[in-house]
Amino acid sequence: MQPRRSGPAPHPSPPRRSTAVPLRRPPGAPLPRSRVGLRALLLALLLPGLLAACDRGAADGARGEREAADPGYSASDAEILQTGADGLPRYRLQARHIEQDPRSLEVALVDIRLETREGDAARWQVTAPTGRLSGDSRLLVLEGGVTLEGGAAPDAEPLRLRTASLQYDLATARLRAAGPVQMTMRNHVLAGTGLDANLRTRQVRLQTDVHGRFTP
């Protein structure tokens, strides 16, 4: 027989808790499929935006390089000569100063004198303080008080026309003005608002508010 122990019964020991230690992925080990798929999705979403940003940056850089390489031109006492199919000068444009905008290729002109030959060798002369020539050298905009003279036979009095601003299409020899116009020929004076003229056919038309003075 074993002897009995007196006193309170011993308390049972509490169960041990196991602590989970996170495992570290060895270097070079593949990621779980869920993480790989998430990264691939993010890359697919971000890649088009990154490529577009790179394209815009490259285009801006190329445009800046072109503008830096081509700053336009400027000259004093300049002359622009355009010949016709027969090899003869069709118009001669002279200016005290010209300067080209490298972006629009438009040419600003100061103290302009234009001599042109249109139709049956009819010669015209246009003068203006300032003007702009389009980048394709087709449209000439004259401002600051424009004077047009010529178009008549050598032994006749020429036509004189004055207006504040004028658009001259050098390809079609058409003139257009929106403001007041004064026209003088053989002591006859006509005035009106708006002008549409064709130098090749020698047709001049005042648009509205036409009135005149005729001296015998």
Give the tens place of pLDDT for each residue, 38-87: 555 545 555 555 555 555 665 665 555 555 556 678 899 999 888 877 77
* Count of helices and strands (H, E) across the chain: 1, 11
**Predicted TM-score of the model (pTM):** 0.64
Q: What is the dihedral of CA 124, 128, 130, 131, to 10 degrees?
A: -30
Is 91 inside a domain boundary? yes
Residues 141 and 46 in one domain: no
Token reading at 172? 């079609």
Check whether residue 90 and residue 65 sit in a common domain.
no
User: Taking the C-alpha atoms of 63, 64, 65 and 67 in order, what is their torsion angle to the nearest 10 degrees?
Assistant: 90
CATH number of 119's domain: 2.60.450.10
Residue 34 lies in a domain: no
What average pLDDT does the segment 185-203 reach?
A: 88
Residue 21 lies in a domain: no
pLDDT of residue 212 exceeding 90: no
Q: Which two tokens stand for residue 70?
A: 């081509």
- Mean pLDDT of the region 161-170: 95
Q: Which helix (H) or strand (E) holds 39?
A: helix 33-69
**What is the total count of domains within the chain?**
2
Domain boundary among 18, 51, 69: 69
**54 sits in which H/E element:** helix 33-69
Mean pLDDT, rounded, of the chain: 76
Q: How confident is the model at residue 33 (pLDDT cuts 50, 70, 90)?
A: very low
- Lowest mean per-residue pLDDT among 15-24, 73-82, 100-109, 193-202: 15-24
Q: Which pair of structure tokens corresponds to residue 207?
A: 């648009």
> Nearest CA to 201 among 126, 120, 146, 101?
120
The pLDDT value given to residue 50:
52
Query: In this predicted structure, which of 27-36, 51-60, 96-105, 185-194 has the lowest mean pLDDT?
Result: 27-36
Residue 163's closest CA among 139, 145, 151? 145
The parent domain of residue 93 ranges over: 74-214
Give percent of the chain with pLDDT exceeding 70: 62
pLDDT digits 0-9 by tens, 131-141? 999 999 899 99
Q: What is the pLDDT of residue 78?
A: 92
Residue 21 clears pLDDT 50, i.e. is over it: no
Task: Flag whether 116 is in a domain.
Answer: yes
Pairwise CA distance, residues 162 & 160, whole Å:
7
Q: Which helix (H) or strand (E) holds 44?
A: helix 33-69
